[in-house]
Amino acid sequence: MYFEASIVSKIFAETCKYLLFRISIPARTMESFGVVVVGIGMAGQVRIRDLRNLPADKPNLQCLKLIGYVSRRELDLDLLSLTLPEALNRSDVHVIIICTEAEAHEETIRKSLEAGKHVLVEYPIVMNVTAAKELYQMASSKGVVLHEENIGLLSLALLELKKDIENKPPLQEVQLAHHVSLGRLSENMTKEKTPFIAHQSIIKAAIFLFGNLTSVGGQLTEKDDCFEAIADLRTSEDKKVQVKLFLFKEKGIWKKEYFLKFKDGSVIDKLPPELVRKTRSGLGMFMEDLLHFSEKLLGVRDVHDTEELTIKTIDLIEKIHSYF
């Protein structure tokens, strides 16, 4: 009996130690978090839509209470219109959701954290790894949540692909491609020879699927109809992973391609289309992301769960760009 009790005590102690180390936000129940959305483009409008239609069967989402928005434009949203300083000075505002241009993320995050607000920010969180590390550290020291959206990692298709890879023979080679129209940000980033900053999701998916990756080469070329950025990567087992980003001058293009070849000759070359926009909870992808964020606020999800992946992604991208 003494032996069994000692094991239980040890497990309990280790569990407590883990929770204290990994979860810096105390568990909170039956509490409201006032939310202001900053930037009312397409993403901002989706956030407002979801905050106005929180599903009743997901109680953790009910802690979020939409208060208002910040925008340069006059909008008829039947919501309180605020400036950013006004939002940050309000005691009933606890959360800032940032949906502005990516170049403005760092300044808005910093001001929000300084004001003691929790932050949900659309990806990319910031434009360089130094700033990302600094802001995550700042959030930790303030005892608030800093959460970067990346709905691509919530897709059941990607989660199932990761399972398939784990159950397959060793990888032989991988080719991933993202075809997308050239937006304002990606056009600027391409001119500065940093295109993957604006389209981090394909690099982040590669790390998510294959673990730590090393950059061994890359190139950026301009063609008649697009820019082509190539990242040559290697897994920890020295298997080749090539990621291509095609930035088209034509509008309305968006497609991702996967080609995975395994040692036994088997191939995976597409994701199940019926699973691409599905999530584990059955919620829409942005609502699922909002659920993860609310669970961090309530202390029932590790507040650092995607932080390491974000840092690794930006760090790898900077190494890829050094070849351009």
Three-state secondary structure string covering 249-307: CCCCCEEEEEEEEECCCCEECCCCHHHCCCCCCCCCHHHHHHHHHHHHHCCCCCCCCCH
Query: What are 271-282's pLDDT values in tens digits?
Result: 999 999 999 999
For residues 183 and 88, membership in a common domain is answered with no
**Model confidence band, residue 228 (pLDDT cutoffs 50, 70, 90):** very high
Instruction: Tell me which residue range forms the domain holding 134.
Output: 33-151
Of 151, 168, 184, which residue sits at a domain end? Answer: 151
For residues 122 and 219, membership in a common domain is answered with no
**Domain assignment of residue 62, yes or no:** yes
**Domain assignment of residue 167, yes or no:** yes
Contact assessment for residue 118 and residue 33, using Cβ atoms and an 8 Å cutoff = yes
**Domain assignment of residue 9, yes or no:** no
**Domain assignment of residue 45, yes or no:** yes
For residues 123 and 176, membership in a common domain is answered with no
Output the domain CATH number for residue 107: 3.40.50.720
Name the average pLDDT for the chain: 90
Query: What are 192-226's pLDDT values in tens digits?
Result: 889 999 889 999 999 999 999 999 999 999 998 99
For residues 124 and 47, membership in a common domain is answered with yes
Query: What are 248-266's pLDDT values in tens digits?
Result: 989 999 999 999 999 999 9
Q: Does the pLDDT at position 24 exceed 90?
A: no
How distant is the alpha carbon of residue 172 from its chain centre?
Answer: 28
For residues 88 and 52, membership in a common domain is answered with yes
3-class SS of residue 144: coil
For residues 137 and 48, membership in a common domain is answered with yes
Of 151, 170, 198, which residue sits at a domain end? Answer: 151
Specify which residues 120 forms β-bridges with: 97, 147
- pLDDT at position 155, please? 95
**Domain assignment of residue 238, yes or no:** yes
CA distance 213 to 236: 7
- pLDDT at position 186, please? 66
**Domain assignment of residue 189, yes or no:** yes
Specify which residues 268 forms β-bridges with: 260
For residues 145 and 65, membership in a common domain is answered with yes
For residues 162 and 272, membership in a common domain is answered with yes
For residues 258 and 185, membership in a common domain is answered with yes
- pLDDT at position 32, please? 93
Query: What total number of domains does the chain contain?
Result: 2
- pLDDT at position 187, please? 73
**Domain assignment of residue 183, yes or no:** yes
Output the domain CATH number for residue 216: 3.30.360.10
**Model confidence band, residue 95 (pLDDT cutoffs 50, 70, 90):** very high
For residues 186 and 255, membership in a common domain is answered with yes
Instruction: For residue 46, give the nearest of 284, 256, 296, 254 by alpha carbon.
Output: 284
pTM here is 0.87
**Domain assignment of residue 23, yes or no:** no
